[in-house]
Structure 1
Amino acid sequence: MKHFFVTLMAKWHLLIMPALLKLGFWGVGLVAIIDTSSLPVPMDALLALLVWQDKGHFWIYCLVASVGSAIGGLVPYGLGRAGGEIFLLKRVNRERFEAMRKRFEKQEFLAVMVPSMLPPPTPWKAFVFAAGVFEMRIVPFMAAVFAGRLVRWLVLSWLVMKLGPTAVDSVANVVKEHLALFLGALVLVFVGIGVWVVLRRRRSGELVG
């Protein structure tokens, strides 16, 4: 079994991915679909190289890759929607599950968009799986993934054009060295959004009253 997966990954990196990339922009979209749906691909490094080689069309690479990520994300999202509730209920009780659902629903768009903006090792698929478990609507889900990925890769393209392809390694090293800080900032963002939503609802209630 281990030999099978090693062979599969070798064929993917040596044969399949180069063949897809020969399709140009559409190939990048297909690779992005595969990356978010199944086999992990170093999309940042790949996109950085393509942008460096074709700076004039950086925005098309970012756009098509973002669309591909949104489409591919439907696979882990669908898994969460199909059986994620049972999976979570085996690990938490119903009361805690409903509390998690309410917290997610208060800022569901940003709960997907913000992780989509962050580079690895952000546990992106966990947030996507949760979006399926808590039945986030498909169109807002895809829009959140698309928006997050687009911001991420536009920023990456700008860094590549300023610093060269090594910008990917620089960003990755910063994230790894300060992972706790990044995750802490992510939590603060969600808490801040939650507080803002609560205050806004209270003000709306006061105006209605």
Structure 2
Amino acid sequence: MLRRLYDWTLSLAAKKSAEVWLAVIAFVESSIFLVPADVLFLPMALARPGRIWRYALIATVSSVLGGIAGWYLGHYAYEAVAKPVLAFYGKLDAFEQLKNSVDYETIVLLLITSGLAHLPPIKVVTILSGAVNINLWLFVATAIVARGARFYLLAWLLRRYGENIRHFIEKRLGLIAGLVSAALILLFVGYRLVQ
């Protein structure tokens, strides 16, 4: 099922309405959807490099708006909506443990790592942020920085290296972003130990 969903998302890049679909996928990815917007962003950017920065802006803004929707789900509709969504993805138990064990600083770190590398998945962190009542403006600022960094870095790489970098990005970007996230986590842990 996941492969069909991935293929369907990828097929949207060839449509005239691709920008609208990019906005929709980026929005729902940040609150409830499994497939990352990168799947649509990459082929669109390669097909029309003159619009690459526009696509990065669309993806960033839509992802941040979707994150806000996720925050509202966690804050105002956790029991009625967010819990069933998390249960559907098999993440409810892990989410509940995380919700009961994180502090404010850890949530901000998770927002950055999930925005950059989907570690943990962005939808989990946006809902968690609302459920534990993270300040909405701090949430928005962090989401803009993290999601903007991801999409604009992808745009820059594609603009600079074109099709040659696509396979590298598809295969190794998660690993690189994961390593950057791990470095951020280690810095955070070091900071907490020094305090």
Shared topology, TM-score over 0.5?
Answer: yes
What amino acid does structure 1 have at the position aligned with 2:140? M
Inter-CA distance 39–175: structure 2 relative to 1 (3 Å threshold)? same
Secondary structure, aligned partner of 1:73: helix
1:41 to 17, 22, 35: 35
1:159 deviates by 1.3
1:146 deviates by 2.2
Inter-CA distance 188–132: structure 2 relative to 1 (3 Å threshold)? same
**Aligned-residue CA RMSD (Å):** 4.0
Structure 1: how far apart are the matches of 2:178 and 2:50?
36
Match of 1:205? none
Match of 2:45? 51
- The 8 Å contact of residues 55 and 161 in structure 1, kept in 2 or not, is answered as yes
Inter-CA distance 18–185: structure 2 relative to 1 (3 Å threshold)? closer
What amino acid does structure 2 have at the position aligned with 1:152? R
Match of 1:106? 105
- The 8 Å contact of residues 115 and 127 in structure 1, kept in 2 or not, is answered as yes
Larger Rg, first or second structure (1 or 2)? 1
Match of 1:167? 165
Structure 2: how far apart are the matches of 1:63 and 1:91?
33
- The 8 Å contact of residues 121 and 176 in structure 1, kept in 2 or not, is answered as no
- The answer as to 2:129 corresponding to 1:127 is no
Structure 2: how far apart are the matches of 1:18 and 1:193?
43
2:78 to 66, 72, 83: 83
Match of 2:89? none
- The answer as to 2:23 corresponding to 1:29 is yes
Structure 1: how far apart are the matches of 2:37 and 2:8?
14
What percent of counterpart residues are identical?
A: 23
1:108 deviates by 4.4
1:64 deviates by 1.3
Aligned structure 1 segments of 4 or more residues deviating by more than 6 angstroms = none
Match of 2:143? 145
1:91 deviates by 5.5
2:156 to 147, 155, 158: 158
Aligned length: 183
> Relative to structure 2, which stretch is displaced further, 68-77 or 166-175?
166-175
1:176 deviates by 5.7
- The 8 Å contact of residues 112 and 143 in structure 2, kept in 1 or not, is answered as yes
1:46 deviates by 2.0
Inter-CA distance 192–132: structure 2 relative to 1 (3 Å threshold)? farther
- The 8 Å contact of residues 114 and 125 in structure 2, kept in 1 or not, is answered as yes
Match of 1:115? 114
- The 8 Å contact of residues 27 and 67 in structure 2, kept in 1 or not, is answered as yes
What amino acid does structure 2 have at the position aligned with 1:62? A
What amino acid does structure 2 have at the position aligned with 1:35? E
Structure 2: how far apart are the matches of 1:111 and 1:10?
25
TM-score with structure 1 setting the length: 0.64
Matches within 5 A, 1:177-188: 181=179, 184-188=182-186
Structure 1: how far apart are the matches of 2:10 and 2:169?
26
Structure 2: how far apart are the matches of 1:26 and 1:180?
29
1:45 deviates by 3.4
- The 8 Å contact of residues 129 and 139 in structure 2, kept in 1 or not, is answered as yes
TM-score with structure 2 setting the length: 0.68
